[in-house]
Every structure is written in C-alpha cells, then in structure tokens.
Amino acid sequence: MRISTLAQLGAGESELGVVYASVEGVNEGSYAECLHELKEKAEALGATGLVGLQIAQSQFQWNQRTSLIATAIKA
C-alpha cells in the first residue's frame, strides 16, 4: 500500500474517501497501532494507497491520543 503525506494522485488513481483512526497513547507504539488501523479501514474500502496523511497527537493529562487521517485512493 502506498502511503504519502502528499495529496497528489498518480495517473489512473481515484479517491475513495477519507479514513480516520485514533488510539490511546502518544508514542511510537501508538503511532504504529494507529497506522495499522487506518490501513485496515482503507483496505476495507478497496484502497491501494493513502495520500494526504496527517497526524494529530493530543497530550492532555487525561486524554493522550494519536490520530491519523488520510484520503484512501485506488489505482
């Protein structure tokens, strides 16, 4: 699966929609877990890639979360 922070589509690619994932924690492990969840959601839509990947991490004492959002695409 192609994953890019760039929002540019390649030749023959089309957008399927936006996918979002969020998990508890703000560390390398939570990022990997969140990315895995995001990829599963995209694959369920039939995506072959993710573009425009963005991360948001909140570190409030009571709510530490890692969130990812991206556009699912299909070649």
Read off the tokens for 3. 């994953």
Choose the weakest-confidence range: 4-13, 17-26, 35-44: 4-13
The pLDDT tens digits for 47-63 are 999 999 999 988 777 78
Read off the tokens for 75. 């070649």
Read off the tokens for 45. 């839509």
Q: How many domains does the chain have?
A: 1
**Region of 55 on the Ramachandran plot (φ > 0 left; ψ -120 to 50 alpha; else beta):** beta
Q: Which residue has better confidence, 65 or 60?
A: 65
- Dist. CA 25–CA 41, nearest whole Å: 20
Can you give the CATH number for the domain in which 40 is found? 3.30.110.70
| Domain assignment of residue 13, given as a range | 2-74
Beta carbons of 67 and 24 less than 8 angstroms apart? no
pLDDT at 28: 87
- Dist. CA 10–CA 60, nearest whole Å: 38
